[in-house]
Amino acid sequence: MRGLLWLEKSSARIAYLTVPRTVNVDQTDEAILDCQYDFSRKLNDFIIVKWFFNNEHLPIYSWLPNSQTRIFDPHFENFIDKSYRFSADRYQIYRGIRFSHLHPNLTGFYYCTVSTKEGYFEERKPMTLYRTPHFERFEVQANPHHFNLSCDVDGIMRPGELRIYRIDDTHFESLDTDTTLTPRNDRFQTVRAQVRANYSVPNSRSARSFQFQCTVVYPNTDINITRSHLMTTRNSSSSIYGPPGSFVTSVGYVLLGLLCVFRYRD
């Protein structure tokens, strides 16, 4: 049963599994997954290397070093560089996968199993593909006790999500939004997302500043690409409206700044 490790008698083990945590398809056209393993030479005739994707029971790629037999899942075969070699050792040559044609369908968990006649060893790691999105606008319209927020972002790959947050010193609140997605006809199947949100200032709210953040989030990763509005209230009798990058002043509010932060962590 996949997911269990049977090690008591096995003379093969995975030394290191390399899977890129995140891949920005605007910066590279490849993703290399390597499954480095140690084994007893007397067992080399029985080694089988298999790669699985997510919870699929059938492997996307299998390799039998002794016979140099390679088997590819047809759904993944066109994405894989079959000529790429990972080692000069004939029992390690094709142990991994090089994806040379990137696609959003490649986002997910990858499992490598190394089997012998006495057992197998398994490890898994996730990989997420994404693009650098284009923030078309992030606008905040303020009334005395109410904010209307609009954020439009193009170039989001699935499973990316567009969210709006309100931030203060002790709170990070995700606002309820209405979202409209427009598919783009491109190879990465990106979408243009438009979100709208409202925030009503509680009567007990004594703070004089409000910060809102429009963020592209990829779940289960550290990819957070944000654009923020910081606003300070001077009185409660007017409103402001301004496009990203502008500096707008009015009787009631001052837009202090617009900060664009890109943060990528592998």
- Give the global pTM: 0.76
- pLDDT of 145 higher than 90: no
Model pLDDT for residues 12-69, shown as the tens digit of each residue: 789 999 999 999 999 999 999 999 998 776 655 688 999 999 989 999 999 999 889 9
Q: Which of 71-75, 116-120, 224-228 has the lowest mean pLDDT?
A: 116-120
CB 139 within 8 A of CB 76: no
Paired residues of 152 in beta bridges: 137, 194
Give dist(CA 234, CA 98) in Å, integer. Answer: 57
Rounded (5°) CA angle 34-39-40 = 165
pLDDT, residue 144, reads 76
Q: What are phi and psi of 46, to 5 degrees?
A: -110, 5
Give dist(CA 220, CA 200) in Å, integer. Answer: 30
Paired residues of 220 in beta bridges: none
Q: How many CA atoms lie within 13 A of 193 on its CB side?
A: 27
Model pLDDT for residues 85-130, shown as the tens digit of each residue: 999 998 899 999 999 999 999 999 999 999 888 778 899 999 999 9
Between 33 and 230, the more confident residue is 33
Count other Cβ atoms within 10 Å, centred on residue 90.
Answer: 11
Model pLDDT for residues 175-218, shown as the tens digit of each residue: 999 999 999 988 899 999 999 999 988 776 555 678 899 999 99
Between 10 and 256, the more confident residue is 10
Ranges in the chain annotated CATH 2.60.40.10: 12-130, 134-263
Q: Average pLDDT, stretch 247-254?
A: 25
**Where in the chain does DSSP place strands (E)?**
12-18, 22-24, 31-39, 48-53, 61-64, 69-72, 97-99, 108-116, 119-130, 134-143, 146-156, 161-167, 172-174, 177-183, 191-200, 209-217, 224-233, 253-263
- pLDDT of 242 higher than 60: no
pLDDT, residue 119, reads 79
pLDDT, residue 259, reads 32
For the domain with range 134-263, which CATH number is right: 2.60.40.10, 3.40.30.10, 3.30.420.10, 3.60.21.10? 2.60.40.10
Fold topology of 12-130 = Immunoglobulin-like (2.60.40)
pLDDT, residue 210, reads 83
pLDDT, residue 252, reads 25
